[in-house]
Structure 1
Amino acid sequence: MLTCATCAVEREEPTPELCPICTDERQYVPEDGQKWISLDELAQAGQQLLLEQNEPGLIGIRTAPKVGIGQTTQLVVTPQGSLLWDPVGFVDDISVKAILERGPVLAIAASHPHMFGVQVEWSRRLGGVPVLVADADRRWVGRNDAVISYWSGSRRITEGLTLHQTGGHFPGSAVAHWAAGAGGKGVLLTGDSVFPNPDRRSIAFMRSYPNHLPLSGAVALRIASQLEELTFDRIYGNFNNKIASEAKAVLHDSAQRHAAWARGDFDHLT
């Protein structure tokens, strides 16, 4: 198994000439070309994983230095077990031990294919836990394994922790709703499905973030409408970027703003 140096998604060997995820219009192959790398090579280079508590019951896990896209994995810890969300493209025994000390892992899931990381490898190190992949995005799986389970619509992990398919960035793009987060007010883990902006008070809706290709206003409004049914006050994106409070209102207002700009309501300002 090798990983793409650009997106850090695992791929069975022999690998293709170019990473299929990176040649898609939502991603890119670097100017200096395609590179594949092994976990052993990363480990020998001193790769580390850092665990930091974001809030009670939510642990952020990031690579140092950055691997691939450089997302932050979120470990949601509940009394019944944990969800490993948006797995990074590196895993080691030290981190596995630290995760299992917090209880069993019930499932591994990614918000969308860019965040698959080394999901099968994580599963194997954690004891063969299920890897949940949205059926609409099965074509992007680079390493097939019996631990992968496909789902659509909504998928309950345990009490108070559920995956919901929103579509948008990818047809299978999903969020994880954690009811106990934010002191019981609810948390959404969104990856790129809805992306907390650097201003921390608005959200973006994009088909491609690096290539600046937006979703339509209608899709932004659809996603916001789907999530309106959930109770949440905080949103975490896939780089630990967040809307710290009143996130449902921010989501609603951001979708309205996105749709208005897409319609041309503000063309007089351009």
Structure 2
Amino acid sequence: MTCGGHYPAAEEPPASCRFCTDERQWVPPTGQRWATLAGLAADGYATEVREVEPGLLGVGVRRHIGVGQRGLLVCTSGGNLLWDPPAFLDEEAVRAVRDAGGLRAVTASHPHMYGAIVDWSDAFDAEILLPEVDAHWLQRPSSAVRTWSGTLPVLPGVTLVQCGGHFPGSAALHWADGADGAGALLVGDTVMVTPGEDRITFMWSAPNRLPLPERWVRGIVAALRPYWFDRIYGGWWLPVLRRDAKRVLEVCADRYIQFLRGEVDLDG
């Protein structure tokens, strides 16, 4: 319930969760809690699907579970891709995606956002696209997994970009047709949009307040430099960096590094 990670069906849950016991996550003081999709549905969990912009649908959950991400369905002339699927799905969500043209592939920005990725793959016979370096984090085996590294053009105008940082395989999705043709970047929390919707930042662990080292920040910026984008969508409904996103990314990366190096005069 804390991380939203999925495990194979079993009579008893694992003794611990690999995601939660990792330094980037956490285990509640009251101990690990486990759930099933059927149990969550009986408790009133339900999905919500709504348009974010033309060609982009958000897929979320009305009650918080795991890290609480909202997935994004990118619709193209060559098929659709689901990004960062939430940890819960139901028939309403499957029906909405089917009505939008179905699903060719499902992928995620990093392992914390794998969510119900195998269930989505099974529902549509869709490929699961995972960065090779992080594929071992998928806890439910699936023959639909296809690994990649570096960059991967998936659909018309849709490219996956391995950025590193939070995880070695942390990725972004570049959607050339997004933001009215100015380009949009889907990032999960490979970079994090801040509440004022005018800046971004970087974290190794958001809940444990651990920053990202300079060389990894520079690696993210370098990986994204070849792409044009005016908008950045994080892993949740809000906040969104709505304009001038490429410039903001580079300016904020420089500012972040100044703080890491102690080059900021906070007393002046």
Relative to the length of structure 2, the TM-score reads 0.96
How many matched pairs? Answer: 265
The percentage of aligned residue pairs carrying the same residue is 42
The one-letter amino acid of 2:145's match is I
Moved over 4 A (4+): none
Q: Any conservation in 2 of the 1:168–1:219 contact (CA below 8 Å)?
A: yes
The one-letter amino acid of 2:104's match is L
Relative to the length of structure 1, the TM-score reads 0.95
Which region of structure 1 is more displaced relative to structure 2, 13-22 or 76-85? Answer: 13-22
Could you say what secondary structure the match of 1:156 adopts? strand
Measured in 2, the distance between the counterparts of 1:29 and 1:102 equals 37
Q: Aligned residue for 1:158?
A: 155
**Shift of the alpha carbon at 1:268?**
4.5
The one-letter amino acid of 2:142's match is D
Q: Aligned residue for 2:236?
A: 239
Could you say what secondary structure the match of 1:51 adopts? strand
Q: Any conservation in 1 of the 2:60–2:86 contact (CA below 8 Å)?
A: yes
Given the alignment, which residue of 141, 146, 150 partners 1:149?
Answer: 146
Given the alignment, which residue of 195, 212, 217 partners 2:214?
Answer: 217
Q: Any conservation in 2 of the 1:189–1:235 contact (CA below 8 Å)?
A: yes
Q: Aligned residue for 2:122?
A: 124
Q: In structure 2, do the counterparts of structure 1 residues 217 and 44 end up closer, same or farther at CA, with 3 Å as the change threshold?
A: same
For 1:12-69, what per-residue CA distance to the aligned partner results, in whole angstroms no more than 9, with x for missing partners?
2444211101100100011111111110101111211011111101111110111211
Measured in 1, the distance between the counterparts of 2:40 and 2:208 equals 28
The one-letter amino acid of 1:95's match is A
Could you say what secondary structure the match of 1:20 adopts? coil
Q: Any conservation in 1 of the 2:231–2:240 contact (CA below 8 Å)?
A: yes
Q: Does 1:195 align with 2:167?
A: no
> What is the RMSD of the two structures over their aligned residues, measured on CA atoms?
1.3
- The equivalences for 1:1-270 within 5 A come to 5-14=1-10, 15-126=13-124, 128-240=125-237, 241-266=239-264, 268-269=266-267
Which region of structure 1 is more displaced relative to structure 2, 47-56 or 11-20? Answer: 11-20
Q: Any conservation in 2 of the 1:218–1:259 contact (CA below 8 Å)?
A: no
Could you say what secondary structure the match of 1:213 adopts? coil
Q: Any conservation in 1 of the 2:83–2:106 contact (CA below 8 Å)?
A: yes
**Shift of the alpha carbon at 1:186?**
0.3
Measured in 1, the distance between the counterparts of 2:258 and 2:65 equals 37
Measured in 2, the distance between the counterparts of 1:109 and 1:24 equals 21
For 1:188-218, what per-residue CA distance to the aligned partner results, in whole angstroms no more than 9, with x for missing partners?
0001111111121111111101111011123
Show structure 2 runs of 5+ residues with no match: none
Show structure 1 runs of 5+ residues with no match: none
